[in-house]
């Protein structure tokens, strides 16, 4: 029971993380800011 609960929680956390990343990609201003910050490193 414990192992399946942890497995389910891990899948739920991964799903939340993927949804958060998708939500950020729908905001073009965020992508431009991220690209500018990454470009500034070089």
- For the entire predicted model, the pTM comes to 0.61
Distances in Å between the alpha carbon of 18 and those of 5, 27, 35, 39? 20, 15, 20, 24
Structure confidence at residue 13 (pLDDT): 97
Per-residue b/e over 18-40, b at no fewer than 16 CB within 10 Å?
eeeeeeeeeeeeeeeeeeeeeee
Name the token pair of 21.
């990343």
Structure confidence at residue 1 (pLDDT): 61
Residue 30: partners with Cβ closer than 8 Å, 6 or more residues away: 24
DSSP 20: H
Domain residue ranges of the chain, discontinuous segments joined by +? 2-40
Q: What is the pLDDT of residues 11-20, one digit of tens each?
A: 999 999 999 9
**pLDDT < 50 stretches in the chain:** none
Structure confidence at residue 24 (pLDDT): 85
């Amino acid at each position: 029971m414990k192992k399946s609960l942890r497995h389910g929680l891990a899948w739920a956390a991964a799903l939340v993380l993927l949804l958060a990343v998708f939500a950020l990609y729908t905001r073009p201003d965020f992508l431009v800011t991220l690209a500018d910050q990454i470009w500034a490193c070089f």
